[in-house]
Structure 1
Amino acid sequence: MDALEITTSDSPDSAVIWLHGLGADGHDFAPIVPELALPASAKIRFVFPHAPSLPVTINGGYVMPAWYDVKSLDLSQEEDAAGIRNSQHRLEALIHRERERGIASTRIVLAGFSQGGAIALHTGLRYDAPLAGVLALSTYLPLPHSLAAETGSANTQIPVFMAHGTADNVIPLDHGAASRDLLQQQGFAVEWHEYSMSHSVCAEEIADIGTWLTRILVI
């Protein structure tokens, strides 16, 4: 899968695979890397993959970069399970590529915003080798009813950072909070953050992400 890469060192010992939201591409979150204020000792490869172009139902079938089709903003409606699992396999292939490049699975973080965050959550909690963590921004857990049966035993203790805007008009705060509650009920350690913002990111959130990544991958 085509992807943009940014490294903080010539010899990275960890990786963050960061998935963009609906209609964007891998360049969307690349500018955040220098804003994370990571310590000079950080040796991280940031991988920003580009989603394939798909027709999206809620946008009148318009073809755009998407990790899966969105049939309705009502998350209780039928989800595009086949599309979600296809992107899961794409993300797992990127994890495999990082491991082939010498990065241990325990040094790989899956990250994503909105639709990309949904795929990061879905994949990270089901992966069959231990990961460093999952960073899920302004998003929700897709296919929640299958999680209990499909949870990867290697990642039952995985650190999960979830963040959401209190004025999000695309994926309402209640949807993100419901996913948080479900994960906590199933024993996952979720670090939850709320920010006064819409469906976006803010400076305070970026600072918190930098602190979390430092704790997970550097210190």
Structure 2
Amino acid sequence: MTLPAVEHETAANPRYSIIWLHGLGADGNDFAPIVPELVDPAWPPIRFVFPHAPVRPVTINNGMSMRAWYDIAAFDLDARQDEAGMRASIGEVETLIAREHSRGVPSERIVLAGFSQGGAIALAAGLRHPEKLAGIIALSTYLPLHAAFAGERSAANATTPIFWGHGTADPVVILQRGVDSRDLLLSQGYALEWHTYPMAHAVCAEEIGDLRHWLTQRLS
């Protein structure tokens, strides 16, 4: 079963797909309004796919059930990572990628994007994906499952471009957490473009502008 998703095609017969994963407690509608702000009319036709994460109890929110890519046990994001939940969500992303293949969009024309824990899954899935992707967008996030990363990363995506945006005043995924993940990826030779913005756990207009510029280079 493929996760339900909000979809938006910028024109008929999309040549590229951008699969965009929302943050904790949101759903696929959260980033759908970004499309008109982000898209350059000169780009080729794109299918945006905004999947809804499964509903699950989230420990840090008193066990309340909400849409989440994995459970979070504590504010210290290293504390008892929900490895089973993360790996299940990586599998969900693989299913979404396979559906794009079936609709005529190969991996090298697919961008994985995500915000917060959606960004964590975009990174974890994208850097393990066995075929080269067009790019990975990581917003206000961190690299999960990092202990297993060196042994599981895919050679096919060793040079895949990564856009990383992070708020300097982020109280949820603190800036240092992003910096540590960035440094780990740079030490492994990844082509990572790093941006910080004077914001909290959010997305801002300047970031969307930088992202538009970065995507223009990927969508040629």
TM-score by length of 2: 0.97
Cα pair distance change 1:133/1:41, threshold 3 Å: closer
Query: How far did 1:162 drift?
Result: 0.6
Tell me whether 1:71 sits opposite 2:36 in the alignment: no
Asked if 1:211 corresponds to 2:217, the answer is no
Which residues of 2 match residues 38-77 of structure 1 at below 5 A?
A: 38-77=40-79
Unaligned runs of 5+ in 1: none
Residue 170 (structure 2) aligned to one of 168, 171, 183: 168
> Which residue in 2 is equivalent to 1:105?
107
Q: 1:26 offset after TM fit, Å?
A: 0.2
Amino acid at match of 2:112: L
Report SS of the residue matched to 1:163: strand
- In the TM superposition, what are the counterparts of 1:19-38 in structure 2 within 5 Å? 19-38=21-40
Give aligned pairs, total: 218
Deviations 1:165-195 (A, max 9, x none): 0000011000001000000111111100000
Q: Which region of structure 1 is more displaced relative to structure 2, 150-159 or 34-43?
A: 34-43
SS in 2 for 1:48: strand
Residue of structure 1 in register with 2:90 after alignment: 88
Q: Which residue of 1 aligns with 2:195?
A: 193
Q: Percent identity?
A: 59
In the alignment, does 2:145 pair up with 1:147? Answer: no
SS of 1:30's equivalent? coil
Deviation at 1:41, TM superposition (A): 3.8
The answer to whether the 8 A contact 1:37-1:207 is kept is no
The code of the aligned residue for 2:127 comes to L
Runs of 4+ displaced beyond 4 Å? none
Normalising by structure 1, report the TM-score: 0.98
Residue by residue, what CA displacement relative to the aligned partner does 1:79-137 show, whole Å, maximum 9, x if unpaired? 00000000000000000000111001100000000010000000000000110010000
Report the counterpart of residue 16 of structure 2 in structure 1.
Answer: 14
Displacement after TM superposition at 1:215 (Å): 1.1
- Give 1:175's aligned amino acid: R
- Shift of residue 141 of structure 1? 0.3
Deviation at 1:78, TM superposition (A): 1.4
Q: Which residue of 1 aligns with 2:204?
A: 202
Q: Tell me by how many angstroms 1:40 deviates.
A: 3.3
Unaligned residue ranges in structure 2 (runs of 5+):
none
Alpha-carbon shift at residue 61 of structure 1 (Å):
0.3
Q: Aligned AA for 1:15?
A: S
The RMSD of aligned alpha carbons is 0.8
Work out the CA distance in 1 between the residues paired with 2:56 and 2:39: 35
Counterpart residue number, 1:120: 122
Instruction: Say which SS state the counterpart of residue 17 (structure 2) adopts.
Output: strand
